[in-house]
Amino acid sequence: MSEGFARLQRALDYNFQEEGALSRALTHRSLGADNNERLEFLGDALLNFAIGEELFRRMPKAAEGDLSRMRATLVREETLAAAARRIELGDAVRLGSGELKSGGFRRDSILADALEAVIGACYLDGGFTAARDLCLRLLAPELEHLPDPGTLKDPKTRLQEHLQALGRPLPEYTVLSEDGPPHRRSFRVRCRLPDDGNESHGEGASRRFAEQQSAERMLQRLSGAGEPHA
């Protein structure tokens, strides 16, 4: 067993019975056909279940929407890449020459995919309990510092809930402009409160992003006016 594999297994706190499973999990598609994509698919499913189950246990009063948003935060690419960096997974990932030269071992997408593949390999090597426990160890810091579920709601949802709590009508969103070539669109959207005419605007590469930005700015405006919001 190579020292790199031995070090990684110590960081994972799991020893693979079959080293080939770990080797495949660390092999990016740029290196050949025998890569980690299928293991990534399996690991993604296991991770979603393990984290979902743990959140269900830790948050007995949370609504389904809050649980879903919390899980999405924990299993997103950025979070998984951070977990991969904690165990220095990038040092063990096997890349083709092109990806290696371009610094692929530092890329969030490659690190997150490799982490999921390692989880999938752990399941095939040691079974469900071993894989679930590995998921919980990898994301232990995030699980110990869970954010307030309310902060995970998107701005449009938070604005809607705030207005509903005050008995006010829902905001109206209007696309004011749509410019640029098909591959680089730019949207400008207005968010308007129909009961008082208050307006805010948002810009972005998609209508959805522009709407979210305009809602966030409206929330900031209402907060600045002394209206607490959810």
Question: Annotated catalytic sites, by residue?
Answer: 44, 116
Q: Is 191 helix (H, G, I), strand (E, B) or coil?
A: strand
Residue of 201, 156, 152, 154 lying closest to 174 (CA atoms): 201
Q: Whose structure tokens read 């972005």?
A: 204
**Edge-to-edge order in the sheet of strand 199-204:** 172-179, 186-192, 199-204
Q: C-alpha angle with apex 2: 27 to 118, nearest 5 degrees?
A: 35
Structure tokens at 219: 């929330």
